Structure 1
Amino acid sequence: MWKQESAERSLSLVVPLSISEWEGEDVKSTWSGGAAKISHQLKVGTMAAFQLLFLLLVSCAPSSAYPPGHLSQCQIVQKDVLCSDQSLRSAPVNLPPDVQMLDLSRNQVQNLTRETLGFHTGFHRLNLHSNKIHFIQPRLFENMTDLRVLDLSRNHLNVFAHSKTNIGSLKAVESLDLSSNGLYTGMSDYFLTDSPSLANLSLNSNSITKISHNMFRGSLSLKKISLHNNVILEIEDGAFDSLHHLTELDLSKNSITCINDFDLYNLKLFNLSKNSLETFQSDSSDILFKLLSLDLSENKMLYFPDLPEKNELEYLNVSRNQLQTTNVTRNQEKQSILKLCCLKYLDMSYNQLKGIPESFFFSTPLLEVLNVSNNCIHSFSVSHMTPLNKVRVINLSYNSLQSLTFGENTLRSLKKLFLQGNKLTVLDHQIFQRLPSIRHLHLEQNNLQICPSEPKLKDHNHQVPTDCVSFSSVHNLHFLYLSENHLRTLPGNAFVDTPLKLLDLSLNPGLNLHKDSLSGLENSLVHLLLRENNISSLNTDLSSLKCLKHVDLSTNQLNSLLMWNKESSIESLNLQNNNLVTLDHHTILALERHLKTLYMGSNPLSCCDNLSIFRLVHQSAVVVPDIATATCFHEKNSEPVNIKKVTPEMCHRPDVSNYVVGVVVTLLVAMILLGLLIKCCRLRKRKHNRSFNA
């Protein structure tokens, strides 16, 4: 092997930092010596042939020594040399003597030797990812006592590992990336046998099938290990026991089927997502586990994980499993052992849960985010006994909810509630008034109706409404989504004392808007969505909404807009796919000052009746994103005309010529009358003169 190395060394060409270094006597002497050696070996040919061979060698040498993107394109930033994407086969010579970082990523390096790295030993960081490295000179990094970060990812180190040769000591290396190298089980040992300072190790995207008990015996300082996207089937007992500093372990996207007696007490982050886990069981020790985050998503678990009794867990993800219950085993009594006193985030979405007993939440007093979307839950109840005072977000979307109950003073911190995609029809009409902090409320794709404000509950002749939900006096609600609810009517004053900023009433075909439907939102509403409601006319005066900036009226049956008599603050207006022929001139004047974006495609607009809005488009005062489909009809064109092509000259109306004719006729009549008047005056003067002569 060493003979092969020396041979490679004699044939290797040193790549200079600049072309200028190829000039001068050094080049001539170097190549003349080489030529003399060749001449001596061949012992044939004439002097002319020798000179021709010499010239050919000189002309070919630079092309082999300088692959595309050579070192003249490297960048030097302080003590960092950046040479990525230069098709280099080695590091440049004449590197700055105090260079600390060398980036040779995405090049053509195949062998790592002292010559390859220019005999520099003062590197702090070496980035060699995405090359073709398949050989590393043993003990190459031994003298690099300052080397902290070494990136060898995306190479061919499996070829080197087949030689069963250790690369030698990595005494100072703290971060090592060996991902995407085709490494099999046991091959990583040749890189880890003597790396006492190693804290961060990445072995992602290799072909490792087993973690042996001695795999990390030479790297006892490890804090973070990532083995994502391998083929791990087995973890030998005690594989991580000697790693007392280990705090992060990523085993995601492997083929692990079970975790029994989990006992990594010091571990803080554990990722086991995208495996084939059926069970997760912890050691029954009384020792406190420091685990903060556990990701068990995308596995095959039927039961809730059996977590350490003493734990500090804050984040737990068991989404996309096959959970049918919150019990940890078939044994119902085991449920009482569950303790999650520090848990803040719990994701159980995309499972097969049919319900969550209130007793489950007795173990989660600090819970802030609960996601149980995409399950089969029929009812959800929170009574005054349930300690969910800290919860800020509850996601119950896409279940089969038919019953929803919140007791008084139960969810005082709840800010976001997701209920879309359920079967809610009947709710306590004031259920949302019991949520004093609620800001976001998603009720899309249900079957709810809206109550008028202030029902006369004190009147014994009026019973409490059972077929509608009240949205008045929800004092902190800012975002309300009610699309796809089969809403029939929006009563007057429906949102009084509710400071909505966004109201989505889209996809409720046949929705009837009362003229006072939006009363109470004059000083708060910013976004109004009314798309796809088959609305033929707006009964509501939007000009009274002082803060309204974004309005979506697309895909309706509008043939006119309610005339605005005062200035509007609307910045974005979507009128796509309606039956609009003319946009009222006064409305355009009211919109003109603040309007920035207008969607108006797929309308039967008249070219000559909308010149005021077309003028704004021509002046680029208003952007029309759907300009390609924004057309109008002109009596002289059989095909629709794009609004950008409309000019005032196209619209010389007949009434203009009639006006000119009228003026001419009036002038002629005036002239005739003036002539008659003058004639009459002359006749009188003659008569007067005759009478005087007599």
Structure 2
Amino acid sequence: MRRESQPRGARGPSGRYRSASGCVRARRGCESEMFGRDRQIGRRLRASAMAAFQLLFPLLVSCAAASASPARSLPPCQIVQMDVFCSDLSLRGAPVNLPRDVQILDLSRNQVQNLTQETLGYQTGFHHLNLHSNKIHFIQPGLFKDMTDLKILNLSRNHLNVFTLSKNNIGPLTAVESLDLSSNGLYTGMSDYFLADSPSLTNLSLNSNSITKIAQNTFSGSSSLKKISLHNNVILEIEDGAFDSLHHLTELDLSKNSITCITDFNLYNLKVLNLSKNSMELFQSASSSQLYNLLYLDLSENKMLYFPFLPRVNVLEYLDVSRNHLQSVNVSGSPEKRTNALLKQLKYLDMSYNQLKSIPESFFCFMGKLEVLNVSNNCIGSFALANKGFLPNLKIINLSYNSLQSLTFGENTLPSLEKLFLQGNDLTTLDHQVFQKLPSVLYLQLQQNNLKICASEQKQYEPALTDQNHHDPPGCVSFSSVRNLHFLYLSENNLQTLPANAFANTPLKLLDLSLNPGLDMDKDSLSGLEHSLVHLLLRENNISRLNTDLSLLKSLKRVDLSTNQLTSLPMWNKESSIESLNLQHNNLVTLEYSTMLALEHSLKTLYMGSNPLNCCSNLGFLHMVQRSAVVVPDIETVTCVHDDFSEPVNIEKLTEGMCHGSGTRAYVIVIVLALLAAMIVTVLLVKCCYSRKRKRDRSFSA
């Protein structure tokens, strides 16, 4: 507000200037009034002074107490040696009694708005400064100039976009090696104010901002950068040469942006590149014979139609092109160019969730070190591997959820394969011994197909039969003598029968036969699994009676028989090793006491909900539950039917007295009914005798 100079004298009410004598007369007339007013003002001042003293006295006392206390006492914060942690305390700055030579200061999740020397307690010896999740919108110019030991600076989740409006650099950041500026509302060009003078910076995070363009000079002041993360921005353009000056750059994260293509990729020293979740339609490396050091390339969740044009000379180990629109493994749609790159070091390849219809075997001819192949969720109709030398180290193949009708493996083509995922296909007919050709397979998922299982009449160590048994269904597949198979999933295969010796000489630990309604199991179907099988799943098969003697399976610990039609339990002897048994959703009325006694020896967990149990016919089960010998996790849903109650009774509320009382009442009712019957018979006999006597009397009188 502008101030105006005044002439000597005082202005009157009309704005005219008064003479000196007039001022004297006016002053005399006001002296008495001013004297009274002064006395009032004096009284008010004295009262205010007294009130101020009363308010300040406790503060003075507290200050005196604070000065007497040790300088390192920071009740709200935690001090660990030379590290101070003050997060989540609604602070606007560091505590006033901050220890000297503090190395780590954590002021995260507070209310800091202005970052100044006063905010940081006039300290300059920090090694690590954490200020994330505050409200910082102003940084004192040159604040970090004297912090020659500061290595890590976290300014994420603040309002630094406001600071950049001043067009002042934050630097110099003389020694800072790691800088986090994520979630600050920064857009294109704003990062320059933080990176212009950062000669030691090696790790930079600009995640979750609004940057749309990486300019050629964006990182010119930070030539030592090794790792840059630009995840979750809106990057549309990267100028030529934007990263060329960063000779030490090894990791670059550009995921979740709006990049549409990469052409002439030439970052030879880069080891990790993440371009996932963009709108990429093309990835093309520069045509060069120079070695690329790229190890990890993530191109998932883009819009590529064709396999990426990779560097010809490379050491790539990890390649993810999942969730694109790949229709073939050809490069740029050219039939004669499947790939010009020799992926000799590749260990992991993910092409899942694409539109591939086939993968020629020649595609794998230079992938001798490949260990994991994921081509699930495509449209592949057939898959064949016959060449022994192509994939000697492959351990995992995921072909699940395709349209597979044909699957062929040559002898010893996959000597190292351990896991094979084939669920969710249309496999109906397979080579009789296709899985015997996989000498190392441990884990086999075949659920949601239409397979038939062959029987086996082989004895242990007998060579595999070349001809199918004449009793076997046509097109069946054999699971016997798969020497290393431990986990087999065959649920939802529309299996009708499970023949005898189906898994002979196969050391299964887990067998899942669930969701095969109407499955008829031969009494010897699990023969050969006596000493290996630990988990058996038979849920939702509509089984009314279990023919197989599970007590012969000495290692069996977990059995799932839920959602069937069982009316009684199979017999178990006292040598049972079952620890977990699921009998939910069956038709069990009575649990045999001898069976419960045998199971109690090893049983730890029992699921029994949704069965029409009879209350007073299962006192053995009631004793077992009440003694807490067995845990029943679904005890709240375990009910039983009692004659004296219209609604089912929860098993926890049942007592023996309720059953004994019910028996006594029933006994009394029976006796009463018997007495009534006897009385009725007596009355009838008396009437009969009386009528006969009357007849005799009439005949005598005649």
Report TM bin, short chain.
0.7 to 0.9
Q: How many residues align?
A: 615
Q: 1:502-549 deviations in whole A, cap 9, x for unaligned?
A: 000000000001111111101000000000000001101111111111
Change beyond 3 A, Cα 1:658–1:117? closer
Partners in 1 of 2:215 and 2:283 — Cα distance? 20
Partner of 1:669: none
Partners in 1 of 2:332 and 2:369 — Cα distance? 24
- Which shifted more, 498-507 or 623-632? 623-632
Q: 1:242-271 deviations in whole A, cap 9, x for unaligned?
A: 001000000000000000000000000000
Partner of 1:521: 529
Do residues 486 (structure 1) and 489 (structure 2) align?
A: no
Partners in 2 of 1:410 and 1:92 — Cα distance? 68
- Conserved in 1, the CA contact under 8 Å of 2:313 and 2:341? no
Partners in 2 of 1:359 and 1:176 — Cα distance? 47
Do residues 106 (structure 1) and 109 (structure 2) align?
A: yes
Show the 5 A alignment for 1:281-292.
281-292=284-295
Change beyond 3 A, Cα 1:458–1:316? closer
- Conserved in 2, the CA contact under 8 Å of 1:129 and 1:153? yes
Partner AA of 2:382 in structure 1: S
User: CA shift at 1:652, angstroms?
Assistant: 1.1
Partners in 1 of 2:81 and 2:258 — Cα distance? 46
Which of structure 1's runs of 4+ aligned residues deviate more than 6 A?
57-63, 458-461, 653-660
Partner of 1:614: 622
- Conserved in 1, the CA contact under 8 Å of 2:105 and 2:126? yes
Partners in 2 of 1:460 and 1:94 — Cα distance? 86
User: CA shift at 1:125, angstroms?
Assistant: 0.3
Partner of 2:17: none
Residue in structure 1 matching 2:77, options 74, 77, 83 = 74
Do residues 389 (structure 1) and 392 (structure 2) align?
A: yes
Partners in 2 of 1:407 and 1:133 — Cα distance? 65
Do residues 586 (structure 1) and 594 (structure 2) align?
A: yes
Residue in structure 2 matching 1:248, options 234, 248, 251 = 251
Change beyond 3 A, Cα 1:658–1:285? closer
Partner AA of 1:101 in structure 2: I
Partner of 1:199: 202
Partner of 1:544: 552
- Secondary structure of 1:332's counterpart equals coil
- Secondary structure of 1:608's counterpart equals helix
Q: 1:163-184 deviations in whole A, cap 9, x for unaligned?
A: 1100121111111000000001
Show the 5 A alignment for 1:202-601.
202-335=205-338, 337-384=340-387, 387-454=390-457, 457=465, 462=470, 466-601=474-609
Partners in 2 of 1:336 and 1:130 — Cα distance? 47
Partner of 1:154: 157
Change beyond 3 A, Cα 1:481–1:489? same
Partner AA of 2:333 in structure 1: R
Do residues 122 (structure 1) and 125 (structure 2) align?
A: yes
Partner AA of 1:409 in structure 2: N
User: CA shift at 1:229, angstroms?
Assistant: 0.2
Partners in 2 of 1:191 and 1:391 — Cα distance? 47
User: CA shift at 1:72, angstroms?
Assistant: 2.0
User: CA shift at 1:566, angstroms?
Assistant: 2.8
Q: 1:546-568 deviations in whole A, cap 9, x for unaligned?
A: 11111000000000011113321
Partners in 2 of 1:400 and 1:96 — Cα distance? 68
Change beyond 3 A, Cα 1:45–1:655? closer
Identity %: 73
- Secondary structure of 2:365's counterpart equals helix
- Secondary structure of 1:162's counterpart equals helix
- Conserved in 2, the CA contact under 8 Å of 1:482 and 1:505? yes
- Secondary structure of 2:617's counterpart equals coil
- Conserved in 2, the CA contact under 8 Å of 1:522 and 1:544? yes
Partner of 1:50: 49
Change beyond 3 A, Cα 1:85–1:195? same
Structure 2: which 5+ runs fail to align?
Answer: 1-40, 67-72, 459-463, 669-702
Change beyond 3 A, Cα 1:59–1:380? farther
- Which shifted more, 96-105 or 476-485? 96-105
- Secondary structure of 1:330's counterpart equals coil
Structure 1: which 5+ runs fail to align?
Answer: 1-41, 661-694
- Secondary structure of 2:252's counterpart equals strand
Partners in 2 of 1:432 and 1:244 — Cα distance? 50
- Secondary structure of 2:143's counterpart equals coil
Partner AA of 2:282 in structure 1: T
- Secondary structure of 1:360's counterpart equals helix
- Conserved in 1, the CA contact under 8 Å of 2:455 and 2:469? no
Q: 1:585-627 deviations in whole A, cap 9, x for unaligned?
A: 1111111022111110000011111122222222222111112
Partners in 2 of 1:635 and 1:583 — Cα distance? 18
Change beyond 3 A, Cα 1:302–1:53? same
Change beyond 3 A, Cα 1:117–1:459? closer
Partner AA of 1:442 in structure 2: Q
Partners in 2 of 1:657 and 1:644 — Cα distance? 23
- Secondary structure of 1:261's counterpart equals strand
Q: 1:305-334 deviations in whole A, cap 9, x for unaligned?
A: 000000000000000000000001122222
Change beyond 3 A, Cα 1:54–1:256? farther
Partners in 2 of 1:76 and 1:213 — Cα distance? 44
Partner AA of 1:525 in structure 2: L
Change beyond 3 A, Cα 1:649–1:332? same
- Conserved in 2, the CA contact under 8 Å of 1:71 and 1:86? no
Show the 5 A alignment for 1:646-657.
646-652=654-660
- Conserved in 2, the CA contact under 8 Å of 1:315 and 1:343? yes
- Conserved in 2, the CA contact under 8 Å of 1:246 and 1:267? yes
- Which shifted more, 196-205 or 326-335? 326-335
Partners in 1 of 2:468 and 2:128 — Cα distance? 81
- Which shifted more, 79-88 or 644-653? 644-653
- Which shifted more, 134-143 or 453-462? 453-462
Q: 1:40-93 deviations in whole A, cap 9, x for unaligned?
A: xx9993201232245457789999xx9xxx952211011110100000000012
Partners in 1 of 2:271 and 2:625 — Cα distance? 58
RMSD over aligned Cα, in angstroms?
Answer: 2.4
Partners in 2 of 1:413 and 1:498 — Cα distance? 18
Change beyond 3 A, Cα 1:426–1:353? same
Partner of 2:141: 138
Change beyond 3 A, Cα 1:243–1:460? closer
Q: 1:327-365 deviations in whole A, cap 9, x for unaligned?
A: 011222222523211100000000000000111011211
Change beyond 3 A, Cα 1:655–1:313? same
Change beyond 3 A, Cα 1:385–1:592? closer
- Conserved in 1, the CA contact under 8 Å of 2:74 and 2:98? no
- Conserved in 1, the CA contact under 8 Å of 2:455 and 2:472? no
User: CA shift at 1:424, angstroms?
Assistant: 0.2
Partner AA of 1:561 in structure 2: L
Partner AA of 2:390 in structure 1: P
Partner AA of 1:262 in structure 2: F
Q: 1:474-526 deviations in whole A, cap 9, x for unaligned?
A: 01000000000000011111111000000000000000011111111010000
Partners in 1 of 2:606 and 2:487 — Cα distance? 23
Do residues 90 (structure 1) and 117 (structure 2) align?
A: no
TM-score, normalised to structure 1, is 0.85
- Conserved in 2, the CA contact under 8 Å of 1:429 and 1:465? no
Show the 5 A alignment for 1:617-632.
617-632=625-640
Change beyond 3 A, Cα 1:580–1:563? same
